[in-house]
Structure 1
Amino acid sequence: MDAKFYKLILLGGAVRFYFVRTPLASLISDRVEFATPLNSQKRMKEGIYLLDQGIDPYSGDLVHETPLVLKALSGLFLNFPQWLPLIYIMLDLLTGALLYNLSVRFVKQKLQKQRLERKNYAKDTEQLQYNDDDNYDIPELVLIAYLFNPLTVLSCIGLTSTVLSNLFLALFLYFLTKGLLLPCIFLLAFETVRSFYPIVLMAPLLLVFARRSFAGGVILSVLFAVACLIIAAASYLVIESWSFLDGTLGFIFYFRDLQPNIGLFWYFFTEMFEHFRTMFLITFQLNATVLYLVPLSLKLRKEPLLLATVLVALMAVFRAYPSLGDVGFYLALLPLWKRCWKYMAHGFVVFTFFLVTLSMMGTLWHLWIYAGSANANFYFGATLAFSTGQIFLITDLLFAHVKREFCLYNGQKIMIDGEEARILLK
Structure 2
Amino acid sequence: MELSVYLILLTGSVLRLLLFDTDIAVWLSDRNELSTPVTSWKRLTEGLTLTRLGISPYDGDVYHEAPLTLAFWDKMDQLFGSSIKYLFIISDFLIGVLLYKIGTLFASQVLNEQNKEAATYHPTAIEIIIKNETVRTNRLYTVAAYMLNPICIASCVARSTGILNNLAIVLSFHSALRRNRLWMCISIAGATYLSLYPIVLLIPLTIYLSRKDEEETKTIKHIKIYSFFQSLIACISFFGILLYFSHQIEGNWKFLHCTFGFILNAPDHSPNYGIFWYFFTELFEHFRLFFVCVFQIHAFLYVLPLSCRLVADPFFAAYLSIAFTCVFKSYPSYGDMALWGSMIFLWSHTFRHLRSSFLSLITLIVATILGPVLWHLWMYAGSANANFYFASSLAISAAQVFIIFDLLFAYQKRKLELKMGVKQKGPDGKPVKYYLE
TM over 0.5: yes
- The equivalent of 1:9 in structure 2 is 9
| 8 Å contact kept, 1:403–1:423 | no
Distance 2:247 2:127 in 1: 54
Distance 1:406 1:383 in 2: 35
Distance of aligned partners of 1:244 and 1:303 in 2 relative to their CA distance in 1, 3 Å threshold: same
Aligned residues: 425
- The equivalent of 1:192 in structure 2 is 192
Distance 1:167 1:222 in 2: 22
- The equivalent of 1:182 in structure 2 is 182
Is 1:83 aligned to residue 76 of structure 2? no
- The equivalent of 1:378 in structure 2 is 388
Question: 1:240 Cα deviation (Å)?
Answer: 2.1
1:327 to 325, 332, 337: 337
Structure 1: 4+ residue segments shifted above 6 A: none
Distance 2:372 2:413 in 1: 38
- The equivalent of 1:423 in structure 2 is 433
Q: What are the superposed Cα offsets for residues 286-340 of structure 1, whole Å, 9 maximum, x if unpaired?
A: 1111x21221111111112211211111111000000000000001111100110
Is 1:264 aligned to residue 240 of structure 2? no
- The equivalent of 2:217 in structure 1 is none
- The equivalent of 1:243 in structure 2 is 254
Question: 1:55 Cα deviation (Å)?
Answer: 2.0
Question: 1:345 Cα deviation (Å)?
Answer: 1.6
Pairs within 5 Å for 1:53-202: 53-78=53-78, 80-202=80-202
Is 1:220 aligned to residue 200 of structure 2? no
- The equivalent of 1:309 in structure 2 is 319
Query: Which stretch of the first structure deviates more once superposed, 398-407 or 77-86?
Result: 77-86
Is 1:393 aligned to residue 403 of structure 2? yes
| 8 Å contact kept, 1:413–1:420 | no
Which runs of 5 or more residues in structure 1 are unaligned? Answer: none
Distance 2:8 2:196 in 1: 33
Distance 1:274 1:398 in 2: 37
Query: Which stretch of the first structure deviates more once superposed, 79-88 or 392-401?
Result: 79-88
Q: What are the superposed Cα offsets for residues 52-84 of structure 1, whole Å, 9 maximum, x if unpaired?
A: 333211111111111112111213224533212
Which SS does the other structure have where 1:65 is aligned? coil
Which runs of 5 or more residues in structure 2 are unaligned? Answer: 215-223
Distance 1:52 1:187 in 2: 29
Which SS does the other structure have where 1:419 is aligned? coil
Distance 1:129 1:240 in 2: 58
Distance 2:32 2:188 in 1: 26
Question: 1:216 Cα deviation (Å)?
Answer: 4.2
| 8 Å contact kept, 1:107–1:130 | no
Query: Which stretch of the first structure deviates more once superposed, 25-34 or 217-226?
Result: 217-226
Distance 2:75 2:304 in 1: 43
| 8 Å contact kept, 1:127–1:339 | no
Question: 1:264 Cα deviation (Å)?
Answer: 0.8
2:372 to 362, 366, 371: 362
Which SS does the other structure have where 1:18 is aligned? helix
Return the TM-score normalized by structure 1.
0.96
Question: 1:417 Cα deviation (Å)?
Answer: 2.2
Q: What are the superposed Cα offsets for residues 390-425 of structure 1, whole Å, 9 maximum, x if unpaired?
A: 111001100000100000111102122251423244
- The equivalent of 1:412 in structure 2 is 422
Question: 1:220 Cα deviation (Å)?
Answer: 3.2
* Aligned CA-pair RMSD: 1.6
| 8 Å contact kept, 2:125–2:417 | yes
Distance of aligned partners of 1:136 and 1:216 in 2 relative to their CA distance in 1, 3 Å threshold: closer
Q: Which residue identity does 2:85 align to in structure 1?
A: P
| 8 Å contact kept, 1:310–1:394 | yes
Distance 2:17 2:127 in 1: 40
Question: 1:278 Cα deviation (Å)?
Answer: 0.7
Q: Which residue identity does 1:100 align to in structure 2?
A: Y
Distance 2:9 2:231 in 1: 36
Distance 1:374 1:90 in 2: 39
Is 1:284 aligned to residue 295 of structure 2? yes
Q: What are the superposed Cα offsets for residues 241-260 of structure 1, whole Å, 9 maximum, x if unpaired?
A: 22211111011111111111
- The equivalent of 1:341 in structure 2 is 351
Distance of aligned partners of 1:377 and 1:74 in 2 relative to their CA distance in 1, 3 Å threshold: same
1:295 to 298, 301, 305: 305
Which SS does the other structure have where 2:132 is aligned? coil
Query: Which stretch of the first structure deviates more once superposed, 273-282 or 206-215?
Result: 206-215
Which SS does the other structure have where 1:416 is aligned? coil
